[in-house]
Chain A
Amino acid sequence: MSNLSSAERSTAPASPLLSVKQLRVDLPVAKGTLHAVRGIDFHVERGEMLCLVGESGCGKSMTSLALMGLLPRKAQINADCLNFDGVDLLTVSERERSNLRGSRMAMIFQEPMTALNPAYTLGNQLCEALRRHQRVSRKAAHDRALYLLKRVGISAAEERMRQYPHQLSGGLRQRVMIAMALMCEPDLIIADEPTTALDVTIQAQILHLLRDLQQEFGTAVIFITHDLGVVARIADRVAVMYAGEVIETASAQALFHAPSHPYTQGLLRCIPTPGKTLPGSRLQAIPGVVPSLIDKVEGCAFCNRCDQADQLCHTTPPLQTVAGGHLSRCHFAHLLANPATIHAQEVTL
């Protein structure tokens, strides 16, 4: 396996694999400019699973596309720092970028049917992913594809290699996508809602597989999802996004046990949780809707839906440290950080 890993893999352990500072993505739309991502900061350590969580339109997918260099042509991207293992992703040439893509950073999309080419066999597409980046023989690529298909739990792999995407079920296609992402042993995999379209039983299997492989190969994963259940079970660290900003970052344990932003707290309260929410009781919904990101958002983006907002919230809150590695973009983060505040509000059975 080691002969396939990229030779120039950096060995400096101190710097994170990916660091993002003040990333902004603007999209021109009919009514003006849509500020899809509004200055976000995060980093990904080598071999860690970072979950980007948020509701639709919060900018999580735009962030992943910006990292992969797959934004629509009209989009404008700005950042103070967008560094992937020593490579500045803002100034990198399209040629270098395309050498990185698939080889050192790979992506798994939500809908594998649109990501796989219907006109080529799976074997063909898997081998292409490797041979595009590395000088290996057809035989070696074929063997690697076969090994990975078996590794992601596909039976009769030899036969599957000759099949076309439409001949596979959704769960199997997503397994193929994972195998394809692993072909070049990338340092970073960006998985954008990879299990949203799948049944719960298949979702559990795919998540299990992804977690196993991530630990086995030491791959860093940015896992994008809206499902807090998934986040709780697989994440090392979590970044919660709202209206184009990261509003809270913490380890998975800290985020679920001591959420320190009213939005995170609201999200955790409004999903029915067996054993905590009384069946048939009213759920504590978050009132209102997400603000439009077309104009400039003044102050805290959540303040119109927040039950604890006051005058101060009309000014933009800084990202504050609540505890080691736990950041919250709320003026009152320190008051909210007390775990008793959320647990006291839960309806217990």
Chain B
Amino acid sequence: MSSAATPRDPYALELCALSKTFKLGGSMLHKSRTLKAVNNVSLRVPRGQVMGLVGESGCGKSTLAKILLGLTPPSAGDVLINGKAIINANQKALARHIQPIFQDPYSSLNPRQRIAQIVGLPLRIHAIGTPKEQAVKVEEMLDMVGLPKRAAQQYPGQMSGGQRQRVAIARALIMRPDLVICDEPTSALDVSVQAQILNLLLDLKDEFGLTYLFISHDLAVVEHLADRLAVMYLGQIVEEGTREQIFTAPRHPYTQALLASALTPEPGLGVPDIGLGAGQPDPTQPPSGCAFHPRCPVAQPTCSQQEPKLSAIPQASGSAASQGNQARVACHFA
């Protein structure tokens, strides 16, 4: 829409050394602690692609999503959308380019408004078209996400989880954004409904030329949907690459463990023993050196002293090392 006229940056989204630090506690008796929820994250999402973002709970993926949506300011670093910095940008202008789809379609829709009002709200806020034109647009949008006409007059409470998620998708797409942040969009849904929503997201991506940042803990879903993948651990990206690179030849021990622990529906294989030890360490006291070293099965003495840098993996000779399929990993021994 509005961005179509301007010359397009090859990346829909760029994160440059983005950090977010929270101060915790801090009273007369206790020293305040700092929590680096997002720690020096740099990432580029090519236009029209799906970037999967995976990691355990508390690794900072949702904080990252909040920064992108302008719900919380970053402590340092820059976010560029279509090559333009969004920090301090007008929230309303930002909303034209980037829209969210949240995990829980029960709490993300106002229960007191009809579906037509919910989906049409962005149009009213941005004063696009007359009320009549808005109503037509809403109807079109509901049709595109596969909801019947009568849904417009219903309330969220009258709908199933899958239908509500369709409403959330309609609301996100009615402004024709470039970038959609999908934060676990199917994890609250049943598997048979999940497939319907994933199909819809893929169809709409082609139809509108959308770019998705797809946050999920379900690796099978991410493998199905994502073109590229970034793996986060304790606020940092530890590995990034194309779907093939990550799923066929993961380099980082954490990525390897994460992939090993995904349970595919194949009987007789048993539960893998991934040997990762306990859960994540306290994020307010991250381990020295590589943050993953206390859980890493192949850690060496250097890992506790030196922090590995996220650096490009040298491409095998012969394969075209174009920027598009560059992979990065943060491990001394990858």
Binding site for B on A (CB under 8 A): 55-56, 155, 169-172, 199-205, 207-208, 211, 226-235, 252-253, 255-257, 266-268, 270-274, 277, 279-280, 282-287, 289
Known: A204-B272, A229-B220. A273 touches B264 (CB 8 A): yes
Of A255, A272, A289, which contacts B223 at CB under 8 A? Answer: A272
Q: State in angstroms the CA–CA spacing of A273 and B217 once bound together.
A: 15
CB distance from B246 to the nearest CB of A (A): 12
Q: How many A-B residue pairs have CB under 8 A?
A: 138
In the A-B complex, list the 6 residue pairs whose CB atoms are closest, starting with the nearest: A229-B263, A272-B224, A270-B195, A285-B195, A55-B190, A204-B261
Contact A279 B243 (CB under 8 A): yes
Residue of B nearest to A153 (CB): B278
Q: State in angstroms the CA–CA spacing of A253 and B269 once bound together.
A: 11
Q: State in angstroms the CA–CA spacing of A256 and B263 once bound together.
A: 14
Known: A56-B190, A201-B56, A202-B279. A273 touches B271 (CB 8 A): no
Q: Which of B54-78 contact A (CB under 8 A)?
A: 56-57
29 A-B interface contacts by CB (under 8 A): A55-B191, A170-B279, A171-B279, A172-B279, A199-B56, A199-B217, A200-B217, A200-B219, A200-B258, A200-B261, A201-B257, A202-B56, A203-B263, A204-B273, A205-B276, A232-B265, A233-B267, A233-B270, A233-B271, A252-B268, A253-B267, A253-B268, A267-B192, A270-B194, A271-B265, A272-B224, A273-B220, A285-B192, A287-B196
Contact A268 B265 (CB under 8 A): yes
Chain A contact residues, majority secondary structure:
helix
CB distance from A341 to the nearest CB of B (A): 17
Of A256, A266, A285, A286, which contacts B266 at CB under 8 A? Answer: A256
List 6 additional A-B contacts (Cβ < 8 Å) besides A252-B268, A271-B191, A274-B223.
A199-B279, A208-B272, A271-B194, A272-B198, A272-B224, A285-B195
CB distance from B241 to the nearest CB of A (A): 14
Q: Which of B215-247 contact A (CB under 8 A)?
A: 217, 219-221, 223-225, 243, 247
> Which of A229, A235, A253, A255: most chain B Cβ within 10 A?
A229
Residue B262 at the chain A interface, CB threshold 8 Å: yes
Contact A199 B195 (CB under 8 A): no
Contact B220 A286 (CB under 8 A): no
Residue B160 at the chain A interface, CB threshold 8 Å: yes
Residue B128 at the chain A interface, CB threshold 8 Å: no
Contact B264 A232 (CB under 8 A): yes
Contact A233 B220 (CB under 8 A): no
> Which of A56, A230, A234, A272: most chain B Cβ within 10 A?
A272
Known: A199-B56, A252-B267. A270 touches B192 (CB 8 A): yes
CB distance from A240 to the nearest CB of B (A): 12
Binding site for A on B (CB under 8 A): 56-57, 160-162, 190-196, 198-199, 202, 217, 219-221, 223-225, 243, 247, 257-258, 260-274, 276, 278-279
CB distance from A331 to the nearest CB of B (A): 21
CB distance from A260 to the nearest CB of B (A): 15
Contact A271 B274 (CB under 8 A): no
> Which of B160, B191, B266: most chain A Cβ within 10 A?
B191
Contact A273 B272 (CB under 8 A): no
Residue of B nearest to A254 (CB): B267
> Which of B160, B257, B264: most chain A Cβ within 10 A?
B264
B247 cross-chain contacts in A, Cβ below 8 A: 274
CB distance from A45 to the nearest CB of B (A): 18
Q: State in angstroms the CA–CA spacing of A36 and B202 once bound together.
A: 35
Q: State in angstroms the CA–CA spacing of A271 and B199 once bound together.
A: 11
Q: State in angstroms the CA–CA spacing of A172 and B282 once bound together.
A: 14
Of A201, A230, A252, A283, which contacts B258 at CB under 8 A? Answer: A201
A170 cross-chain contacts in B, Cβ below 8 A: 57, 279
B221 cross-chain contacts in A, Cβ below 8 A: 272
Known: A199-B279, A204-B272. A283 touches B267 (CB 8 A): no
Contact B264 A229 (CB under 8 A): yes
Q: State in angstroms the CA–CA spacing of A253 and B57 once bound together.
A: 32
CB distance from A177 to the nearest CB of B (A): 15
Q: State in angstroms the CA–CA spacing of A256 and B266 once bound together.
A: 7
A255 cross-chain contacts in B, Cβ below 8 A: 267
Known: A199-B56, A201-B261, A208-B271. A277 touches B224 (CB 8 A): yes
